[in-house]
Every structure is written in C-alpha cells, then in structure tokens.
Amino acid sequence: MKAVVIEKPFQATIVDCVTPSIAPNQVLVRVGAVGICASDVEVYEGTRPADYVRYPCQPGHEWAGTVAAVGSEVAHLKLGDRVAVEGHHFCGKCYFCQRGQTNLCQHYNEFGFTLPGAYADYVAVRADLAHPFAPDLPFEVAALTEPAACAGHGLLRAGVQSGDTVAVIGPGTIGLLGVAWAKALGAGRIIAAGVDRNNESFARAVGATDYVTLAEGADTQVKAMTEGRGADVVFESAGNPQAVLLAFDLVRRGGTVVQVGIAGGDHTIRLSPDLACLKDLRLHGVFAYTSAVFVETLRRIENGVLNVRPLITHRLPLTQFAAGLALLKHKPEPVVKTVLMVND
Ligand SMILES: [Zn+2]
Ligand SMILES: [Zn+2]
C-alpha cells in the first residue's frame, strides 16, 4: 500500500509499504478521506513538542474510511461499514480513562503522531475507536468529526442555551467549527471576531449572525449588541494572550469562557485576582475531546444539525499532500479545511 512517511522534519515522501495486519481486537480500515491539520504542518516542520510525535511519522488523524478486515474478537463492526476513527489511542485503564476523561489518558498515543495515521491506503485500529456512520455521509465530511469534536467538547460543557449570544474569537478552523456548534446548540446570536475579514464568508456560512474585527473594537461592538452585558458564552480559539484577555472582557457577568486556543511559549497575562468572583464566571479549558464527545459530534454531523460542509475548501489526491500542507501554511487563497481523498 501507499503511505506518506515523514522521516524527519522537511523530509516527507510517499512510500510503498506492507498493508498492516490486525490483532483480534482491531479492524483494518481502508482510508476514504483525511483532513490536513495545522498540527500536520508542525510535524512536517519539526515544531511539535517532542513528547507528542515520533519520527518516522505517518501523519493523519482527521479521517474516515471503510472496514476492510475485522478481528476475531470484534462484534460491533462488519466488512464494508463506514467508520470515523478517534485520534487518541487512550488506554482505557488509567485514572482518567476510568472516569471517561479519555482525552487526558496518562499514556499519550495518537494516530498520525505516535501511531501510523491516515495519510495512507490502510490503517489498523483498535475496534472500539472506530464508529460507524450512515452510508450517505461522504468520507470527507465525516473526516471533520475529529476537529469538530475539539470545539464541541468546549461548547457542550459550556451549556449553551437556546437563544444565547455566543462570541467566537479567532475564526480559524477550530473557531469556525465553534460557530457551527453554537448554531447546532441553538444560539440566537453568534458573533465571530477576527483580526481581518478573510474568513467572514465561512463564518456566516456555518451560522455567524455578526462579524466584527478587532480593529473596529470587538468589545464595544459586542457590548452594543447585548445591551451592554456582553456575551453569554465566549469561545476563545485565537491562541494568543490578547485574545484570552478579550474573552474575559467580552463575557457577561455569570457567563462562561471556553478556552481552546494555545498561545504557546512562555507568555503571561495580567488578570485582576477578583475577576472570576466579581463576574461570577465559569472557565472551561479544552484539551482535545473525550470518546463520548467524538461520538456525539459524529451523530450531529450525520443528522445534519452540525453543518461543517462549507468549511471544506479543497479536495486533493493523497499524492498532492505536500501541496496541501503548503496551502495551509501559506494560505495563498482562502483555505479552511483541505481534505486528501484517498480511496473515495
Ligand atoms: Zn487536527
Ligand atoms: Zn488512559
């Protein structure tokens, strides 16, 4: 079979390799489509933290495909099932897994980073990580379950109520998926806030009712739209210190901040020690998604309530993976999610 292998940073090729064999508790999945993620660019460029990647690396963690072989102990899947596969290969036994917090498993292992991923014809996966979906859902749409689950993990916990005002700071891929989730959860007003208007049309396509830029004064505009209160829920996905401060500014008293963005490095921010008390705030940090949220995300994509389709901007064959990575890195044209079509 063919697979993309990143031997070491900046050295990626398509190689011929042996199709993996499966253990009794595994299925072999013929890859249909795999999304290109910013973290794939990190793996390619060698900027991902060393604990979260192992070279040589076969990337690909946002994907879906068809069951092509079934291990002898597997009961819930059969040949030909179309499945979306969780990224995290959690252990199921540790303190966190036992409590359903599979995203925090003490034994980090993830397809596409430390395990062979889906930039390939076939991947062998533990069967409980593969979740079947309806035959009429295209592979490239089902492949968005993984990134959409990251946004869903935060907004489901925020308890968005019907009619709520949700502000999304940083309308990149995860932010736009946050907009789609806010819409799916019944938010009344969804305000996307970005540094520029590049992604405005995508934000509106997945449910944003308003779009503001930081230069225009996102805080005054959001306050003006909410009779001075601020947003019920703020979803921060920009990943920089200013965005975190803005999130605490935009949220109303008694509201909820969801923080998904990773600012990185050793930035610090200054917050009033009384902020959370005086505003009666809830803060949810989001690290990936749990197994339960992944399945809930797949169900909502399947039934169309969670509309992620407008975010697929490019479809490329696997052979053009390098062009796909470059597209995401340099954005010479509007790009949200590029999907590599593998065996579709
Ligand atoms: Zn990703
Ligand atoms: Zn575990």
Q: Is the pLDDT of residue 337 over 90?
A: yes
Q: Are residues 274 and 315 in the same domain?
A: no
pLDDT recorded at residue 264: 79
pLDDT recorded at residue 262: 86
Q: Is the pLDDT of residue 24 over 80?
A: yes
Query: How far is the centre of ligand 1, averaged over its atoms, from the C-alpha of 61 (Å)?
Result: 6
In a domain, 8, yes or no: yes
Q: Are residues 26 and 130 in the same domain?
A: yes
CB atoms < 10 A from the CB of 281, how many? 17
Range of the domain at 91: 2-144+308-341
In a domain, 296, yes or no: no
Query: How far is the centre of ligand 1, averaged over its atoms, from the C-alpha of 63 (Å)?
Result: 10
Q: Is the pLDDT of residue 344 over 90?
A: no
In a domain, 302, yes or no: no
Q: Are residues 7 and 98 in the same domain?
A: yes
- Give the pLDDT confidence of 261-316 residue by residue, as tens digits: 888 778 899 999 999 999 999 999 999 999 999 999 999 999 999 999 999 999 99
pLDDT recorded at residue 263: 84
- Give the pLDDT confidence of 31-65 residue by residue, as tens digits: 999 999 999 999 999 999 999 999 999 999 999 99
pLDDT band at 80 (very low <50, low <70, confident <90, very high): very high
Q: Is the pLDDT of residue 230 over 80?
A: yes
Q: Are residues 279 and 213 in the same domain?
A: yes
Q: Are residues 270 and 313 in the same domain?
A: no
In a domain, 299, yes or no: no
In a domain, 209, yes or no: yes
Number of domains in the chain: 2
Tokens coding 286? 């989001």
**CATH for 313:** 3.90.180.10
Q: Is the pLDDT of residue 26 over 80?
A: yes
In a domain, 155, yes or no: yes
Query: How far is the centre of ligand 1, averaged over its atoms, from the C-alpha of 71 (Å)?
Result: 28
Query: How far is the centre of ligand 1, averaged over its atoms, from the C-alpha of 325 (Å)?
Result: 13
Rounded to two decimals, what is the model's pTM? 0.96
**CATH for 155:** 3.40.50.720
In a domain, 294, yes or no: no
Q: Are residues 133 and 50 in the same domain?
A: yes
- Look over the chain and give the mean of its residue pLDDT values, rounded to a whole number: 96
Q: Is the pLDDT of residue 108 over 80?
A: yes
Q: Are residues 140 and 155 in the same domain?
A: no
Q: Which residues surround ligand 1, an ion (CB under 5 A)?
A: 37, 39
In a domain, 28, yes or no: yes
Please give the span between the terminal C-alpha atoms of the chain, in angstroms, as a whole number: 15
Q: Are residues 29 and 115 in the same domain?
A: yes
Q: Are residues 320 and 238 in the same domain?
A: no
Q: Are residues 136 and 160 in the same domain?
A: no
Q: Are residues 139 and 19 in the same domain?
A: yes
Q: What is the 3-state secondary structure (H, E, C) of the chain?
A: CEEEEEEECCEEEEEECCCCCCCCCEEEEEEEEEECCHHHHHHHHCCCCHHHCCCCECCCCCEEEEEEEECCCCCCCCCCCEEEECCECCCCCCHHHHCCCHHHCCCCCEECCCECCCCECEEEEEHHHEEECCCCCCHHHHCCHHHHHHHHHHHHHHCCCCCCEEEEECCCHHHHHHHHHHHHCCCCEEEEEECCCCCHHHHHHCCCCEEEEHHHCHHHHHHHHCCCCCEEEEEECCCCHHHHHHHHHHEEEEEEEEECCCCCCCCCCCCCCCHHHHHCCEEEECCCCCHHHHHHHHHHHHCCCCCCHHHEEEEEEHHHHHHHHHHHHHCCCCCCEEEEECCC
Q: Are residues 138 and 159 in the same domain?
A: no
Query: How far is the centre of ligand 2, averaged over its atoms, from the C-alpha of 292 (Å)?
Result: 14
